[in-house]
Structure 1
């Protein structure tokens, strides 16, 4: 579907309902069953709009799989556990994780694979990639079955809808989507009244923000974190969250659109580009702690993967590779852990029960 179809849909909604909140816009833009970005294409890889870490190198998924196996052992190697991935993309991470953990005694026998995926297009791809493992799909984390679970969320929270609040001299107003009456182009506007979502903004920001500052909150992300934390505390397991974002809550407009591996204008490419925002790890950690869980990290992706042994894994692969393959492995390692690549921008956090041992990569 073209962006025109999505824009017509949004125009009809604005005409009927008034200016739309950013969560409503992001939900329609990304996951609308007819017009949504993820519903109408496979955006991953060199031929798509962006590349995620599992597509950079098999080492990423392998190490995440071994992380999950060690966590399972820390849990006492239960005979039954859900291995869950949120937003599994093409299924690359899960496939690499399962291949790497095949030698771990008892691990695969205990696993039930669950994938939380809204896109029917991506579900078909995941089904082909993971056909040997009979995964079960779910539309939402709240639909996951009961039981201990190890949850992987790589670049999942950044795509969940956010709301943007802008500080004025009178207080906090919510940013919304409208259409210019003359040109018909999409524009941002502010609600005339104060936004109740200001209650979700970090108190330090509320006290120090200046007129014009933008604060972002994500009720959807907080809700997912709450659901995961409560089930981990009550039923056992752990969650691993990998995403780009900030360790400390702050102000700023982080909403971005990416098309063909380049940033593009958000309003000019609705429906044709990926929409994401930086993850507020501090806000998620607060929800986890309020639910009785323990929040580990965040640490940087570079530090996390290094602690799991990515350098040693790369060296082992390079020792058996051709010179060209060795160069590719070295380049992929740099991209994953280099401070000027994904190594610093991406953060990693883990959530466990309050009395559980720190999971791998968070021992310090």
Structure 2
């Protein structure tokens, strides 16, 4: 076993430490904006999706409605508003659970949900209680820490560590990916072990307990490799290894590996579709126009602009992918019945 240089941190350790400090000390969503903040229709559609999945599960009561990485609580508040009005039986049956560690975020989430529910917080997905569950996760997986490996003919496999704001390489074993892909030489291979652990946990849970999980994130559904680590500081791209704790660090989600891990653990996978196709299939444009008809001219323009930003191919529509993980006995949920998008 080769020890890393003194003071060097494995990349995932560095990323986890930096993001924990960032989320604990920075204003809420100060460097980026997420889909629920762009349009209320996003959360409304996910609430309607959860209600339809609950019906397909046989209307269990009680049922856990959980969200991982809930931000300000905007998505869940919009979802609960629709659920309360349209499916009151679901509203009465559900208990809201959040996976969130930041005290700042928890305070904002409690305020956002005050008209609808009192959430129960957990530090990790594995802490969610047993029982039937519907889990929503928007831009959750991309913030989980990754490891990076490089294979060369001369040096063999090496892993990236961080030392004094720069990468250094330490000899290592070959990384393990659940989809069995062939790893090319001289390219960066990223492995997100916490995401794979979540996938396996859900697969094992859904094998015996009714449940469904919906993941929306930017990433790829292929066997691509390459360095996708990035940072936002003061709402601008930044050097990821500089100013640890003062920038939001993320990486593209490897949906191929995530899906393979969940499937191997016993879950049913609805292969990733583009966010644009998913939201349009759920009625993004129709709901937006319904709201616009009763809004002021400026608010109607903002609603339509937000819908385009969420769904247009040149914006978030193709960059973001949507993946569903369910119990094997559940029917294919809404948004995935047309199959994977090209």
Q: Is the TM-score greater than 0.5?
A: yes
Counterpart of 1:94 (choices 60, 76, 99) is 76
The one of 293, 296, 300 equivalent to 1:319 is: 293
Q: Deviations over 1:255-294 (max 9, x none)?
A: 0001233211112232111000000001011011101111
Q: 1:81 offset after TM fit, Å?
A: 0.3
One of 98, 118, 135 as aligned partner of 1:115: 98
Q: Contact 1:157–1:221 (CA<8 Å) still a contact in 2? A: yes
More deviation, 18-27/145-154: 18-27
Matched, 1:300 2:277: no
What are the superposed Cα offsets for residues 41-67 of structure 1, whole Å, 9 maximum, x if unpaired? 2341xxx10000000010000000000
Per-residue CA shift, 1:106-164, capped at 9, x if unaligned?
Answer: 01110010000011111111111112401100001111111000000100000001000
Q: Are residues 1:23 and 2:12 paired? A: yes
d(CA) in 1 for partners of 2:179 and 2:156? 15
Q: What stretches of structure 1 of length at least 5 have no aligned partner?
A: 1-13, 180-185
Confirm or deny: 8 A CA contact 2:179 2:260 kept in the other structure: no
After TM superposition, the runs of 4+ consecutive aligned structure 1 residues lying more than 4 A away are: none
Please tell me the root mean square deviation across aligned C-alpha atoms, in Å: 1.5
Deviation of the 1:205 alpha carbon: 3.4
User: Which residue in 1 is equivalent to 2:26?
Assistant: 41
Deviates more, 1:261-270 or 1:271-280: 261-270
Q: What residue in structure 1 maps to residue 125 of structure 2? A: 141
Q: Deviations over 1:285-325 (max 9, x none)?
A: 10111011111020000000000000100111111112111
- Who is 1:182 aligned against? none
Q: What TM-score do you get using the length of structure 1 for normalisation?
A: 0.88
Q: Deviations over 1:163-211 (max 9, x none)?
A: 00012223221000112xxxxxx110000x2235x123754332xx132
What's the secondary structure of 2:246's corresponding residue? coil
**What are the equivalent positions in structure 2 for 1:225-264 lying under 5 Å apart?**
225-264=199-238
C-alpha contact (below 8 Å) 1:205/1:250 kept by paired residues:
no
Match of 1:220 among 179, 182, 194: 194
The separation in 1 between residues aligned to 2:149 and 2:283, in whole angstroms, is: 41
Q: Which runs of 5+ in 2 are unaligned?
A: none
1:9 — aligned with what? none
Equivalents in 1 of 2:177, 2:7: separation in Å?
A: 24
> Given the alignment of the two structures, is residue 210 of structure 1 paired with residue 185 of structure 2, yes or no?
yes
1: CA distance between counterparts of 2:192 and 2:285?
35
- Kindly indicate whether the alpha-carbon contact (under 8 Å) linking 2:202 and 2:267 is maintained by their aligned counterparts in 1: no
Q: Secondary structure at the match of 2:61?
A: coil
1:11 corresponds in structure 2 to none
Q: d(CA) in 2 for partners of 1:156 and 1:361? A: 20
When residues 83 and 201 of structure 1 are mapped into structure 2, their CA distance, relative to the original with a 3 A threshold, is closer
Residues 266 and 328 of structure 2 are in contact (CA less than 8 Å); yes or no, is this contact kept in structure 1? yes
- Alpha-carbon distance in 1 for matches of 2:193, 2:214: 20
Superposition TM-score, scaled by structure 2 size: 0.94
How far the C-alpha of 1:343 sits from its partner, in A, is 0.4
Which of 36, 42, 45 is matched with 1:60 structurally? 42
The one of 169, 172, 175 aligned to 1:190: 169
